[in-house]
Amino acid sequence: VRPDGALVDTPAPGIYLYPGHVETVVHGLGQALTTLLGTDLQRSLRTPPVIARSIIERAGYHESFPHLLGRVTTQAGSGMPAESDLVLLPAGCYCVYPLYADTRLTSATELSVEATCFRQEGSAEMGRLRSFRMREFVWIGPGEQCLSWRDRCLSAVRGWLTDLGLTTETAVASDPFFGAGSRLIRQLQIEQGLKIEILATVGKGQIQAVASGNYHKDQFGRLFAIFDHTGNITHSACLAFGYERLVLALIHRHGDDPNRWPGRVRDMLRLGALA
């Protein structure tokens, strides 16, 4: 058991078991996020931890982040082990774009997704898991509205986290793209402010993103042939939360026993009935 008692170690680095009180907090966070950001949702989905490999390939994830992707090998009948038609889901929003592939949206669309994600992370520091849970809100619509949606959400989220007692900062960030052009892509991503992270302390001396807001421009619209009501390739944005990191940040701030967290925090997360 980790010193903070939040996540229970297993023999595999970055893979943890979650005690009941952690699950109760995760559930409370999920409900609070729905209240905060989920008022205009077209759909609210839960995805399994695997996704069609064809989707991940259509999205180009296997080329941008091959070092993070978990592949699945299966052996059918008496045949040889072979790569399956599935891969481990690396982020929630990949399951959303195929829903609208080759269609024209009549209006902007907002969805929520709950996902269990896998990434083959290079280290297992506190808060950097290989299997973790992500809540995403995805906004699909005309470009000029994507950024304002993302930034409006980010500011609401910062206020919410402050009310939960957490000290946060925001930072323009970039993703760890793979390959020769990686440095350039990251630089462009930063210059254009496409990825904004909300950072919090998740453990002693450990500051990490508890939420990230991404503006994809027309990347997924183009790859999945999604058009907006004007007939243009649609743009999209997503806002993603790491449940385990949020729990770790709350435990770091308020202690490892949620029963003893401040009343206001307990109310916000509806922890009243905690045993």
For the CA atoms of the chain, what is the radius of gyration?
19
Which of ligand ATP, Zn ion, none does residue 93 bind (CB under 5 to 8 Å by kind)? Answer: Zn ion
Return all residues near 55 (Cβ < 8 A) that are at least 6 apart. 94, 95, 97, 98
Q: How many residues bind ligand ATP (CB under 6 A)?
A: 20
Residue 198: both structure tokens together: 């909300």
Q: Binding string, 157-186, against ligand ATP, x = CB under 6 A?
A: ----------------x-x-----------
Binding site partner of 134, from ligand ATP, Zn ion, none, Cβ cut-off 5-8 A by kind: ligand ATP
CA 177, CA 36: separation in Å to the nearest integer? 31
Q: 190: how many CB neighbours lie within 10 A of its CB? A: 14
Beta partners for 254?
none
CB of 182 to ligand ATP, least distance (A): 14
As a whole number of angstroms, the distance between CA 145 and CA 215 comes to 10
- Please give the residues from 244 up to 263 whose contact with ligand ATP meets the rule CB under 6 A: 244-245
* Closer Cβ to ligand ATP, 55 or 129, answer by number: 129
Q: For residues 90-119, which are near Zn ion according to CB under 5 A?
A: 93
Task: Give the interface with ligand ATP as residue ranges (CB under 6 A).
Answer: 91, 119, 121, 127-129, 132, 134, 173, 175, 208-212, 240-242, 244-245
